[in-house]
Homo-oligomer: A and B are copies of this chain.
Amino acid sequence: MPRPPRFTRDDVIACALSIADDQGLEAVTMSAVAVLVGVTPMALYRHVDDKEHLLDLLVEAVLRELSDPDDRLSGWPRLEALARGLRAAAARHPNVFPLLLQRPAITGGSLTLRARIRDALRDCGIPAEELDRGERLVSTVALGFLASEAGGRFVDVPRDQRDLDFEILLALVHQGLPALERAS
């Protein structure tokens, strides 16, 4: 007997994300998610391969929140806007963010983020053959800082100090871009 599904994959993701935000990643258990969806844990497997898959979807959901880059910006300001958008997403979902560093960036959301970074770098004058490396360096520096911040490595550092840290890091990358051109 065909029956209409009672919930969607997006429901699962939304519930898992809210648990992660409220109580941390380790609270994201299949049965906790199921309770929030209003269903038994086994029903989740209709929409999700397994727990690892669910975590990947969580990362995707966070990346999908990134707003499209402002078209009026170009070059360095555009790259900077990307970085600030990423930091805002990290602030909204600090518990999910460390996952970004843990798995290869091959899903849709992280691929488009990487493409956006490369576009901005090209716009900054980085030669085509250095775009891949530039993207790796920029995202490594950004994710390193943001994962540190989200992961609590800076808990004892006041907020305004961390804000300044971030600005300095941006300046560091900005002034380092010309060196990237020379690298090849």
A172 near B179: Cβ-Cβ < 8 Å: yes
B151 near A103: Cβ-Cβ < 8 Å: yes
Chain-B contact segment, one of A4-12, A32-40, A70-78, A153-161 = A153-161
**Within 8 Å of chain B (Cβ to Cβ): is A101?**
yes
How far does the alpha carbon of A57 sit from the alpha carbon of B164 in the complex, in Å?
A: 32
B172 near A133: Cβ-Cβ < 8 Å: no
A140 near B161: Cβ-Cβ < 8 Å: no
Chain B proximity of A95: nearest CB distance (Å): 11
How far does the alpha carbon of A172 sit from the alpha carbon of B169 in the complex, in Å?
A: 11
B102 near A151: Cβ-Cβ < 8 Å: yes
Q: Interface readout for A128-150 with B: 1 if CB under 8 Å, 0 if not? A: 00000100110011011101100
Chain B proximity of A103: nearest CB distance (Å): 7
Number of interface residues of A (CB under 8 A): 36
Question: Which residues of B have CB within 8 Å of A175?
Answer: 175-176, 179
B140 near A169: Cβ-Cβ < 8 Å: yes
The residues in A between 8 and 31 inclusive whose CB is less than 8 angstroms from any CB of B are: none
**Within 8 Å of chain B (Cβ to Cβ): is A183?**
yes
Question: Which residues of B have CB within 8 Å of A179?
Answer: 168, 171-172, 175
Q: Which 10 A-B pairs have the closest CB atoms?
A: A144-B144, A172-B176, A140-B145, A102-B151, A140-B144, A140-B148, A101-B147, A101-B151, A104-B152, A104-B155
How far does the alpha carbon of A102 sit from the alpha carbon of B153 in the complex, in Å?
A: 7
Question: Which residues of B have CB within 8 Å of A141?
Answer: 140-141, 144, 169
Question: Which residues of B have CB within 8 Å of A148?
Answer: 101, 140, 143-144
**Within 8 Å of chain B (Cβ to Cβ): is A66?**
no
